[in-house]
Structure 1
Amino acid sequence: MELFLLSNGKLSGESELLGYAKARLQTMLQARKITSAVLIPYALIRSDYDARAKELSDALGIQVSSIHHAESPAEAIASAECILISGGNTWMLNQLLHENSLIVPIQRAVRERNVPYVGWSAGCNVATPSIRTTNDMPVRNSVVLPALNLFPVQINPHYIDAHLSGHMGETRDERIAEFCAVNPSESVIALREGSLLQVSGNDLSYFSAKDQGFKVFRHGHETQEYLDTQAIQSLVPFNCQ
């Protein structure tokens, strides 16, 4: 299994999509001799699907086609060399994955054919067991459907622990702590901007373009910041096979 789970698509001031992860992505693409990928852009609401596909083609140096052109989305996934899932609204994305009957085809492609999966923001969220730790509003509906469950732990992308002056609502830490209090058997990995988790086979690695750590939230445990993925493996059983 090959997963790239990115907190976000671009860093502040960065013009190229996936630029901070480009070296890692191209190493994987070249090693596997991948020349094309299928983009699932369903999370995009105010952006053009084909424009996003072209942006990715230019960034990665491969041919990227948007799945909305396919007569059969499931067949497009069945023949894909690589799967790219864009950021945007996680609720919209997960709903359309179900409506287009893509949950099982993606799971089979990644788990059985070892097709690389690259997801950022919403695309990162749907790789986990559910989208309950997304930051997005449920613009499509309020039903929490199962997600792809390729990665066994909930993730909160775009994590920030700043407390804005004058903001009287809950902080992100407080919101995630609430999730863990209601779901005490589950953990949440908080990924800051410019960071990613990579799964290769059963090996897990972490990268941050800003040399920042990630946090692991678990009910009854002190929340800490880590740079070593052993923290994930020691807190929760990790097995992507």
Structure 2
Amino acid sequence: MDILLLSNGKIAGNQHVMEFASEAVVEQIKRTGAKNLVLIPYAVIRSSHDDRVALVQETFDALGLDCNVTGLHRAEDPVKAIQEAEGILVSGGNTWVLNKTLHDLGLVGPIRKAVLEQGTPYIGWSAGTNIACPTIRTTNDMPIITGAVLSSLNLVPFQINPHYLEANVEGHMGETRDERIQEFLEINQYEPVVGIPEGTWLHLLNGELSYHTANGKPLKLFSHGKDPVYYTAEQSIQFLMAHSC
């Protein structure tokens, strides 16, 4: 398996989606030889799916990679398109809409098989990272649809909070991100949450998990009954793969 899970699509100063993790993206594409990539754009709400495909194609063009990006929304048979894809990309947007659409179209099983059994490379950011968890319960997004589904791809055995922000906003009287995660842990005491801030990503390669950052920001691990722990890119986080929800 070769899985890149980015906290977000862009950071300040970036022109292209995934630019801050471009070295990792280039290495993955060259390592796997993937050329025909399928983008899953279902999370995109405020722009068109075709526009998102074009933006991602621009990224690969700018990186000098000979890759062709097609949108899964254009496929006559989405399951077959996933089965034949040489790489799977999952855009950010609204996690609830994305996850429900994958379930509605019968794509959860085919994506898991492609990534975990066939070794199809996977790159997700924001919502595309949320769905790699066992469930999407630690997304920051609003459930803007009815009939929302919680279980997801379960590519990693722990929960992730992308766009993690450790901050107290002046004048804001609601719960902080840390407090929301602590609420999750009070109810789900055996499910650690990994907070990955903007400009960072997780890489799962053949069962080996590592953390990477373009700006030096650490990962923050939340566990029930314990103080949060920070991990830098130099520290091992492989123990998270031994966790079982």
**Pairwise same-fold verdict (TM > 0.5):** yes
Rounded Cα–Cα distance in structure 2 between residues aligned with 1:93 and 1:147: 10
Residue aligning to 2:123: 118
3-state SS of paired residue (1:192):
coil
After superposition, what is the alpha-carbon deviation per residue over 1:128-185, rounded to whole angstroms, capped at 9, x for unaligned? Answer: 0000000000001263431000111100000001101110000000000110111001
Whole-angstrom CA distance in 2 between matches of 1:236 and 1:117: 17
Change (3 A) 1:139 1:49: same
* 1:23 equivalent in structure 2: 23
TM-score with structure 2 setting the length: 0.93
Give the 3 Å change call, closer, same or farther, for CA 199–171 of structure 1 in structure 2. same
In structure 1, give the amino acid aligned to 2:171: G
| Residue correspondences, number | 239
Amino acid at match of 1:77: I
Unmatched segments (≥5 aa) in structure 2: none
Equivalent residue, structure 2, for 1:159: 164
- CA shift in 2, pair 1:229/1:187, >3 Å: farther
- For 2:43, the equivalent position in structure 1 comes to 43
8 Å Cα contact 2:158-2:240 kept in structure 1: no
Structure 1 CA distance for aligned equivalents of residues 96 and 217 of structure 2: 28
State which of 76, 95, 102 in structure 1 corresponds to 2:107. Answer: 102
Could you say which residue in structure 2 is the equivalent of 1:6? 6
2:156 partner SS = coil
Q: Deviations over 1:198-234 (max 9, x none)?
A: 0100111111110110100000111121115756444
Instruction: Quote the RMSD (CA, aligned, Å).
Output: 1.5
What letter corresponds to residue 20 of structure 1 in structure 2?
F
Query: Quick one: percent identity of the two aligned structures?
Result: 46
| Distance change in 2, residues 1:73/1:45 (3 Å) | same
Return the alpha-carbon distance in structure 2 between the equivalents of residues 58 and 93 of structure 1. 22
1:57 and 2:57 matched: yes
Return the alpha-carbon distance in structure 2 between the equivalents of residues 229 and 218 of structure 1: 21
Match of 2:197 in 1: 192
User: TM-score, normalized by length of structure 1?
Assistant: 0.95
d(CA) in 2 for partners of 1:231, 1:147: 26
| Other-structure match for 1:209 | 214
Amino acid at match of 2:74: H
List alignment gaps of at least 5 residues for structure 1: none
